[in-house]
């Protein structure tokens, strides 16, 4: 089993860690489909509602699932 990486500790130690962005994936196309997923960013209604209260690691997990790496990349 892999040891979890504490990204904040790794960054403080000067190690480069490839991370999903903690930036919101919102592209201002805020409409939900029949499964409560946003057509614009792909987040669920719950993820959208909780975004401001999520920890950086929770945000990274959502963005990783979405394949979002930050605005301006891969666009």
pLDDT of residue 66: 95
User: Taking the model in full, what pTM does it have?
Assistant: 0.69
CB 21 within 8 A of CB 68: yes
**φ/ψ of residue 7, rounded to 5:** -65, -35
Residues 37-51: tens digit of each pLDDT: 999 999 999 999 999
pLDDT of residue 38: 97
Give the integer Cα–Cα distance in Å for 23 and 44. 16
């Amino acid at each position: 089993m892999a040891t979890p990486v504490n990204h904040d500790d790794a960054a403080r130690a000067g190690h480069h860690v490839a991370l999903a962005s903690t930036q919101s994936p919102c592209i201002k196309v805020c409409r939900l489909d029949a499964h409560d997923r946003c057509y614009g960013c792909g987040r669920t209604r719950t993820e959208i509602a909780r975004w401001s209260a999520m920890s950086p690691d929770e945000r990274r997990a959502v963005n990783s699932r979405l394949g979002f790496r930050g605005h301006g990349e891969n666009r």
